[in-house]
Structure 1
Amino acid sequence: MRRSFGWPVAAALLVLGASACGGTSAEGQRGTDEETPTSDADAWVSAEDYHPDRFAESAQVDHRWYPLEPGTRADYRGSSIEEGERLHHGVTIIVTDLVKVIDGVPNVVVWERDYTDGELVETELALFAQDEDGNIWHMGEYPEEWEDGEFDKAPAWVHGIAGATAGITIPADPRTGTPDYAQGFAPKPINWVDRGRVYKTGERTCVPEACYSDVVVVEEFERTIPDAFQDKYYAPGVGVVRVGWRGENDESKEVLELVDFRRLSPEELAEVREDARALEDRAYRISADVFGQTPRSEVASP
């Protein structure tokens, strides 16, 4: 399964100015991930720490490195390799003002569209929630995959349904030298087994949108595929600004950079809401056994 992007930016950008600060090499040396775990590693959050009572009644997500502000649109551009050919790749992500309750936990609904050479290849609803300690949880997703303009499949998974469980997208206090963690789990045939680990902190990087400091890099991987990592660069007050890769066994070699973001107008947000609800309607029909078992999304309270 394609590793979901689904990491939007929030409204406030921390711009350091136009001074050059190069991005970290996609094939840089492994570093902090091989350090000896810190003394308090045993207290590190893991997916096993999930409990619905540890979440507030609000769906607000204000994580320092991963804020999800409704009405934010982020556009990314880059490339990836498919069938031996490097193709243009674009991702557009919008944080909707919809809330979906899963296992009693209110989730922000994020709408993602993924393009290859200008053609839509995936559209997705992704669900994220922040617990009372500030950890961000990925609670499920409905991805529609398209090929040559035709619907192909929708490998949806949702916490608590068909053996799937929530996982952590980014911990509240990202620190190097801490153990890796599950980013969610769904058994076969979905086979969602992504894991994350804090790879670097305190980084600086520049992308077309701006330059950023105090960046946290989270590496994502599957244990069954050694030496293949996707790196996501999280900027404070922003979210993901860059995606890179490392390792001989990384097949897609995907690179993405934030090229533009803006806050939607109320009218634009209303249109997005209807589009996201239309996708949800399809999810109830196409994924009746998974997404169809969840309650309908509601507009977030002001």
Structure 2
Amino acid sequence: DMTKMIGGVPSLVTWDLDYSDGELVEAELAFFAQDNDGNVWRMGEYPEEYDEGKFLTAPTWIHGYEEARAGIMMQGKPQLATPSYAQGWGPAVDWTDRGQVDQMGVETKVPAGQYKDVLVIAETSAAEPDAQQLKYYAPGVGNVYVGWRGAGEKTKEILELTKVEQLDAKAMAVVRAEALKMEKHAYEVSKNVYAHTPPLEQMPSTGQAAK
């Protein structure tokens, strides 16, 4: 329930944690906005990478800084047999990801349930042109499965959605506090990019007038 103004666009904030064998390897603040045609844009990312609990680096890219440009996270009207599209452009940190509609109308079963009419997006990058991540998106839910394809794929990562949970006000307050804590660190370590962005703002709740 927080936003950050990026390039004059109020962008929704997500807070992601990535664990491997129970150990936190990456935490990330990412920013998204939707246009009038339904396209969801990735406005930038602040990822923190860790090793054995120690902070290593934060390869940040945000639209408008160091030649970075927003890219499309999800097309409003995806179609098969269409060209790939940039998911963002962050040359300072080698962010060159691209997406392309790979399959539509797929049925997928994961621990969280069985989903129909699933959209599959194949993602690749300039650094690994012969490696693809396959991301499965279910209507009304989002990303439910991640697979891989290609001889150049190194991690061969597979992820499955195990549970869908709606956070209550107390849990949201905890998440909000953690996001703000992470942003404080971002201002300290990302001097060339994040330090120049305006602070996160909480969205007004229902019935609450915006200030």
Task: Judge same fold: TM > 0.5, yes or no.
Answer: yes
1:121 and 1:162 map into 2 onto residues whose CA distance is 26
Alignment of 1:59-138 (within 5 A): 97-138=1-42
Query: C-alpha deviations, 1:110-143, integer Å up to 9, x for none?
Result: 0000111101111110001101110010000110
Partner AA of 2:198 in structure 1? P
1:227 counterpart residue number: 130
2:129 and 2:171 map into 1 onto residues whose CA distance is 43
1:144 counterpart residue number: 48
Aligned with 1:228: secondary structure?
strand
Alignment of 1:220-259 (within 5 A): 220-259=123-162
Partner AA of 1:221 in structure 2? T
Give the number of the structure whose residues are more often strand, by fraction. Answer: 2
Partner AA of 1:285 in structure 2? E
Partner AA of 2:110 in structure 1? V
Partner AA of 1:293 in structure 2? H
2:17 and 2:31 map into 1 onto residues whose CA distance is 15
Determine if the alignment matches structure 1 residue 170 to structure 2 residue 74.
yes
Determine if the alignment matches structure 1 residue 279 to structure 2 residue 171.
no
Stretches of 4+ moved more than 2 A in 1?
223-227
Aligned length, in residue pairs: 205
Structure 1, unmatched stretches of 5+, are 1-96
1:81 counterpart residue number: none
2:135 and 2:65 map into 1 onto residues whose CA distance is 28
Match of 1:298 among 197, 201, 208: 201
Identity of aligned residues (%): 50
Determine if the alignment matches structure 1 residue 202 to structure 2 residue 92.
no
Displacement of 1:170 in angstroms is 1.1
2:59 counterpart residue number: 155
TM-score (norm 2): 0.95
Alignment of 1:52-63 (within 5 A): none
* RMSD, matched Cα: 0.8
1:228 and 1:154 map into 2 onto residues whose CA distance is 23
Structure 2, unmatched stretches of 5+, are 206-211
Partner AA of 1:112 in structure 2? D
Displacement of 1:226 in angstroms is 3.1
2:209 counterpart residue number: none
TM-score (norm 1): 0.67
